[in-house]
Structure formats: C-alpha cells, structure tokens
Amino acid sequence: MINNQEISDEHLNSFVDNELSLDEQSEIFNAIGRDEALKERVCGLRSLKEMVQHAYRNPPAYRVSPINKLNNWRPLNMLNMPSLSACLLLLLLGWGSGWIMFSGPMTTNTSKILSLFQASQSNDIAEQGNIIVHVSNSNPVRLQTALDETENLLAAYKRDNRQVQVEIIANASGVDLLRSDVSPYAKRIELMMAKYPNLDFLACSQTINKLQKSGVIVHLLPHTGIAASAVEQINKRLQQGWDYVRV
C-alpha cells in the first residue's frame, strides 16, 4: 500500500496525464481515497493543466496573412508535371514570338540600358545623354551601387566637359534612400547635390502617401523633389528620350 510521501511528483504527473498502466492507476486511486493530502496534490495538478489549456484555447491574432497561405505556394516536386510542362511550353512560345517580333530595336535598347554605366566610362555614350535612375529597393548594397555608379558617371561627364542631366527617382522601399531619418547615405547625397547641380533626387508621392497612411512620418532630405508618380515620371522621361536604368 503506498501513501502520499511515497508517490513522487513525476509519478503523480504521469497519473494526471494518463501515462500509467491500469494497475498503477488503480493503486493511486486507492491511495487518493485514503489520503486527503494526496487528493489535494492531484487536484492541484489537474487544475494547473486545465488552466494552461484554458489560457491558450484562443491565442491572439491568429490570422493567416495572404502571403502566408500555403495555397499559393508549392515546392517544385509537388507541382503537377503536365500542367508545368504546358506552362513552360506556352512561356517558351511567347518568349520566342516576342523575340522574333521585337528582336531589332529591343536588342539595341536593352543592351544600351544594361551597358549604360559601363559605356559612360569608355566615353561611348552620346554627347548629350540624360539618364533617369530608378531605385525601388532599400537594400543598402544596391543603394550604394546606385550612388557610386551615378557619381562615376557624373564625374566622367564633368571631366570631359559634356552635358548630362541625371535624375534618381525612388519609390517603394527605395524611398528610404531619401528619408532624412532613415537614409544611410544622407550626408553623401547632400554632398553629391552640392557638387553636381545637374543631379536631382525625386521621391514618389504615392509611396509617401502610402507610408503616411500607415502612420509613418516621412521627412525627406533637403532639396529632394517629389514626383506625382514614379512610373509617370519614368514614362515622361523615356518619351523625352532619356535613358532608363533600374537599380
């Protein structure tokens, strides 16, 4: 016959969690009937267990965000292969026909944009070249690359006494580049603007509005312009014959 003192906490927990065999359970039930203190220990453990269950029954803010839904994502090995093949075929067809139709002008334009920064250093670019640089990402490495390349370009033009107008337009998270309280390059931008009067920085007002709606107070760097919309500005400049570089 066992009594309260002989039953360890671990054993009693096993009893509460239904981990004991029927014989062991009967033994404890008998002991509980004889011993009030043991009964109290068991009640205490049971009420603790119930309290924990109650406390986490409805955890707060369980809301699956749209991007966290599994329906939108499957690993490659789970995709339906026939559908995947059909999609790939369609994609190839589309790409092929597009390439055939626009191979001439597109190739020239694309390669020009891609090699724009490099070309500037080898003086291959036209005498009068206006460039709009689009920054839509707040990755510091990209921001630094954008500033480095723009500065190299402006320095090269200045050295050769050639005219160039450069606009750096930021939207989405790229606006961080121009926010005085967030930008890691505030001082550098200020120096660049002082050094190169032909360089302008513009922020997209739609992005600013979005940020302000979400409660973020946006302070832009001094002398930063605001464009009604980055896309509109880029489109306008492209129509005016500017070259477009996206960083």
- Which residues contact another protein (rule: CB under 8 A)? 8-10, 13-14, 17, 19, 44-45, 48-49, 51-56, 59-65, 68, 70-71, 73-75, 77-78, 80-81
Query: For residue 216, which of 175, 188, 244 has the smallest C-alpha distance?
Result: 175
Residue type, 163: Q
Instruction: State the Cα torsion 45-50-52-58 to the nearest 10°.
Output: 180
Please give the structure tokens belonging to residue 55.
């406390």
Nearest to another protein of 44, 94 (CB atom): 44
Structure tokens at 92: 């190839």
Q: How far is the CB of 170 from another protein (least distance, A)?
A: 27
70/217 with CB nearer another protein: 70
DSSP states along 157-200:
HHHTT--EEEEEEE-GGGGGGGBTTT-TTHHHHHHHHHH-TTEE
CB of 42 to another protein, least distance (A): 12
Q: State which residue, 51 or 101, has the beta carbon closest to another protein.
A: 51
Bridge partner residues of 131 (DSSP): 166, 243
Q: Please, what is the minimum distance in Å from the beta carbon of residue 132 to another protein?
A: 37
Closer to another protein by CB, 8 or 21: give it.
8
Q: How far apart are CA 166 and CA 196, in angstroms?
A: 9
Smaller CB separation from another protein, 53 or 161 = 53
We find the least distance from the C-beta atom of residue 131 to another protein, in angstroms, to be 40
CA 145 to CA 209: how far, in whole Å?
27
Joined tokens for residue 78: 């789970």
Q: Least distance from C-beta 208 to another protein, angstroms?
A: 26
Least distance (Å) between residue 136 CB and another protein: 25
Nearest to another protein of 60, 215 (CB atom): 60
